Each structure stands twice: as C-alpha cells, then as structure tokens.
Amino acid sequence: MRRTPLFLRWLPMPILTAPLALLVLIGLVFAVALPLSQRIRPSSADAAPMPVPAPIDGNRAFKYLTQICEIGPRPAGSAANAKQRALVSAHFQKMGAKVTEQPFTGQDPRSDKQVAMVNLVGSWHPERKERVVIGAHYDTRPFPDEERNPELRSIPFIGANDGASGVALLMEMAHHLKTLPTSWGIDLVLFDGEELVYGRDGEYFLGSKEFARVYVEGVDGRHADFNYEAGLVLDMVGGKNLKIQQEPHSLNLAPKLVKEVWAVARQLKATAFHNRIGRAVMDDHLPLNNGGIPTIDLIDFDYPYWHTSQDLPKNCSGDSMAEVGRVVTAWLSQPRTRGR
C-alpha cells in the first residue's frame, strides 16, 4: 500500500473525490479501449493484400534438376551446355513463350581461344512494354576447385545446385506464367558464361554482362520498345535447409525490391527467407544493375557443397525450389510499384 501524500489529506473530501473518480473512469476507458484498438488495427503487413503464389510443383522442379544433371558437366562452350539450352528452349516454347537467343563470344582463360556462348530468353506477354527479368546461369564451373582434397579438384563438376537449380526452377515457373495474374511482361533468361573460371583465372558474368550491354544499347539507341522495371537472379536456390538472406549489394542497389520480396515471403511464411543481412556476393545481378535494371540476388551462399564434387542432386531439395518459386510468383502477382 502506498501512503497518501500529506497535502492531499488537507483538502476537503468533496473536492478530492470528484476529480479522483473522473480520473479513475478515464483510466478504465483507456485500459480497455487501447488494447482493443491495438487488436483491431491491422499491421502494415496484414493490411496489404495477401499475395497469391502459383501452385509451384517442387517434385516436378526436382525432376528437371535431375534431368539437367544427367546431361553431365555443362561448362560454357561445351556440347552438353548446348544440349541443355536446346532442352530448355523447347520447354519454354511448349509453355507458350517466345524464345530468342543472344549469341556472343568469350575467351577461355587457359587456352585464350574464343568460346561461343549463348544467352537464352523466354518471353511471356512480349507485347507488354513494362517487363521483369528473372535470370539464372546455366553453365557450370569447369572443375570443383573448392574441394579440400586436391585429387578431387580435377574431376567433372555436376553443379546440381550451382547451375541446375536455378534453371530447373525457371522451367517449373514456366508452367504458370501464361495464366499468372500479373500486368508485367516476363522474361526468363539463362545466362551463359557466368563462371568460365579456373581458380582465379577467368572473367565472371560474361552472359549477364552481354545481356546488359545489349539492353543498354537498345535503350540508348532508342531501339528498345520496352523497359525492364526490375530483375531477380536465382542462384543456388535448391539446397537442403535453404537459407536466403538479404544480399548487401542488392540492398544497396535495389533496396525497395528487397523490401517487396521479403514482405511477400513474410506473408507466405516462407521460412527459407531470413530477415537479416547475409554475405556480399558478386553475381549476375551486378551487371544488370549496371545496365539500369534494379536487380537483386536470391542466393544461399552458405550451401556447404559450393564448388565441390558433392554438389549433386542428393544434396538438393524440390521443397526448397518450390518455396522460392512461390515467393517469386506471388511477388509477380502483386500490384506494380516504381522506384526500386
């Protein structure tokens, strides 16, 4: 019990009790009304329309991943690389896309020979002027040079997660783009020459650099009759126990886009998307940003088999790819916003 202050004892009781009663009444009103108002008032996330993802089939995506890996190693310029490209091209066309190829050349860092490379572009709703690019590299690293055992660094690198997972997810997403309720035009792009690199020898991101160069040339020369409003790069999205954090370059170059995608992930309860900053990654999103396309990188850079001989289908998960695909398609279905 707290003592009544002495000066209150000197006041006449009728003068004291009326204000106290009023204060008690006001306090009771606030005590009841404030929690009630907090329960009724929706949060900003809850107030936003609930995103609707496409029914991404993780099992089918995993079958695509396995099919790609069965081709074998797929380094830039190889016959296996071309076989994979033909497979995806036919699939995109079957799913209703207009497919175009973007040929260019790179240089092998060991032999200095020119290497023929090709970016593959599948376009849905090609008549739409405001577009989104969703890309993944489809070439594999020549060798698993992150192997701790030196004897394993010269064996073929399959690239189930680092290479096949992004392509497989694009193939699965293609099933849904014709009917997806979005006002964007959508381009699914396979970048070649992302890592024609031997250890420290070679140049990264040849395909995305070429893609950005062609786009900028079209914009500057006023040949392009469309505009890319945003871009997503899918890289290593198929590992088990997937953990996608906010990549620092993405946060710096396209912060609003990061916020949009993570807001959708939060509403969908996509637990693979962690609301924290991860490691900075040099990837295909950087050339696209340099080309004026606000682009972010969705990548799990903590995948334990990165650039090793154990980057195999057995260490990948269809559920992981499905979760990423649900977030991406739900984001595509959201109302368009500018200023990413």
Among the residue ranges 34-38, 62-66, 292-296, the one predicted with the least confidence is 34-38
Encode pLDDT of 199-222 as tens digits: 889 999 999 999 999 999 998 887
Closest CA to 286 of 228, 333, 247: 247
Encode pLDDT of 107-126 as tens digits: 999 999 999 999 999 999 99
Asked if residues 296 and 324 have their Cβ atoms less than 8 Å apart, the reply is no
Residue 47's pLDDT is what? 53
Q: For the whole model, what pTM was predicted? A: 0.85
Helices (H), 13-78: 13-40, 44-47, 58-71
What token pair was written down for 250?
Answer: 């993405």
Q: Which residues contact 190 (CB under 8 A, 6 or more apart)?
A: 85, 88, 119, 120, 121, 135, 136, 137, 138, 167, 170, 207
Encode pLDDT of 132-164 as tens digits: 999 999 999 999 999 999 999 989 899 999 999
Residue 340's pLDDT is what? 55
